[in-house]
Amino acid sequence: MSTRVDFAFGAADRLLKACEVTQKQVAAGRRLVVYTRNPARLAKFDRLLWQFESTAFVPHVLSDDPLAERTPVLLEPSAPDPELARQGVWLLNLDTECPPGAEHFVRILEIVSGHPDDKAAARRRWRSYQETGFELRAFDISGT
């Protein structure tokens, strides 16, 4: 199994775009694990999933929640469980670094804003994924 990483560059707001992407993936019947070690970023993403769109509801819980097995979106503050990857779950990375165990996942989604720090961190992740031999794809979403 090879890992494919899709980078979406040019998001006006990284976390809001991550909410939209998460909603689309859930609507398509896919499960996602959303990873970041940053507790403030994870908490903000959690809040945004409740309010980014008035009619949207994206079921989500922390990965250690008793309902995690039955919930399509898992918020993960530590290393994602490789078992999730074996179940076909995709990974949405909101961290500044590559997620631990990335090689276990068939698909990783990366969203990058136009902020210079975010772009610089994304370039480092791109190089790291490239060195690991992952298939990389870039999409310009600045017009969306």
pLDDT in tens, 91-111: 999 999 999 999 999 999 999
Q: In 10 A of CB 85, how many CB atoms?
A: 22
31 touches 61 (CB < 8 A) = no
pLDDT(144) > 70:
no
Q: Please give the distance of CA 107 from its chain centroid, rounded to a whole number.
A: 10
75 touches 61 (CB < 8 A) = yes
Q: Residue 67: exposed, middle, or buried by beta-carbon count in 10 A (0-12, 13-18, 19+)?
A: exposed
pLDDT at 1: 61
pLDDT at 57: 77
Q: Please give the distance of CA 74 from its chain centroid, rounded to a whole number.
A: 10
- Assigned token pair, 140: 């310009």
CATH number at residue 43: 3.40.50.10110
- Report the number of distinct structural domains present in the chain: 1
Give the domain range for residue 18.
4-140
pLDDT tens by residue, 32-70: 999 999 999 999 999 999 887 777 778 999 999 999 999
pLDDT(81) > 80:
yes
DSSP symbol at 32: E
